[in-house]
Amino acid sequence: MSNISIFTKRTSTRKAAVVAMLTGAMCAGLCTGQALASTHFNDITVNAGISGDDIQSPVDDGEMAGGIAWIDYNKDGFQDLFIPNISAGPSRLFKNNGPDSNGNYSFSDVSASANVQMIGVLSAGVAVGDYDGDGFEDIFVANYSGPNTLLRNQGDGSFDDVSVAANLANEVKSSFVASFGDVNNDGLLDIYVGHWNSSSSSRKCSANDLYINNGDGTFTNKAISVGVDDTGCTFASALSDYDHDGDLDILSVNDNVFSNTTLRRNKLYRNNGLMASGLPVFIEQGAEANFDQVFQGMGIAIGDYNNDGLLDYYRSSLSGGYLSTNTGEGGLSIREFATALPPMGDGSISRTAGGGGPTGWGVVFFDADNDGFVDLFRVNKNFSITQPNSFYHNNNGVLDEVRLEVGLNT
φ, ψ for residue 331, nearest 5 deg: 70, 10
pLDDT on residue 145: 83
Q: Which of 128-132, 243-247, 297-301 has the highest mean pLDDT?
A: 128-132
pLDDT on residue 323: 86
Q: By three-state DSSP, how is residue 331 classified?
A: helix
Q: What is the pLDDT of residues 397-407, one digit of tens each?
A: 888 888 778 87
- Cα torsion for 183, 296, 207, 193, to the nearest 10°? -40
pTM, rounded to two decimals? 0.84
Mind giving me the DSSP string for 146-172? S--EEEEE-SSS-EEE-TTTTT--PPP
314 versus 16: the higher-pLDDT residue is: 314
123 versus 294: the higher-pLDDT residue is: 123
Positive or negative: CA dihedral 122, 127, 133, 136 = positive
Per-residue pLDDT band at 324 (split at 50, 70, 90)? confident
Of 111-120, 187-196, 256-265, 313-322, give the lowest mean pLDDT range.
256-265
Of 167-181, 255-269, 341-355, 364-378, give the lowest mean pLDDT range.
341-355
Per-residue pLDDT band at 76 (split at 50, 70, 90)? very high
Per-residue pLDDT band at 259 (split at 50, 70, 90)? low
Q: Is the pLDDT score of 294 beyond 90?
A: no
Helix (H) or strand (E) holding 55: helix 53-56
φ, ψ for residue 149, nearest 5 deg: -125, 130
Average pLDDT value for residue range 250-272:
79
Cα distances (angstroms) measured from residue 146 to each of 160, 190, 298: 18, 21, 22
What is the chain's Cα-based Rg? 20
Strand ranges (E), 276-333: 280-284, 297-303, 312-317, 320-326
Of 107-121, 164-178, 179-193, give the lowest mean pLDDT range.
164-178
Strands 149-153 vs 138-143: parallel, antiparallel or unpaired: antiparallel
CA separation for the pair 398, 403 (Å, rounded): 15
**Residue 183 · residue 279 · CB < 8 Å:** no
| Type of residue at 32 | T
Residue 74: CB atoms within 10 A of its CB come to 18
Mind giving me the DSSP string for 66-117? ---EEE-TT-SSS-EEEE--TTSS--EEEEEEEE-TTS-EEEEE-HHHHT--
Q: Is the pLDDT score of 220 beyond 90?
A: yes
Q: Is the pLDDT score of 200 beyond 80?
A: no
Average pLDDT value for residue range 319-343:
61
Q: Is the pLDDT score of 1 beyond 50?
A: no
> At the top level of CATH, which class does the domain 4-401 belong to?
mainly beta
**Residue 235 · residue 297 · CB < 8 Å:** yes
Long-range contacts of range 386-393, CB-CB < 8 Å, 24 or more positions apart? 387/358, 387/359, 388/358, 389/21, 390/358, 390/360, 392/340, 393/36, 393/368, 393/369
Q: What do you get for the CA distance between the two ends of the chain, in Å?
A: 17
Q: What is the pLDDT of residues 124-169, one digit of tens each?
A: 899 999 999 999 999 999 998 889 999 999 999 999 999 999 999 8
- Helix then strand count (H, E) for the chain reads 5, 28
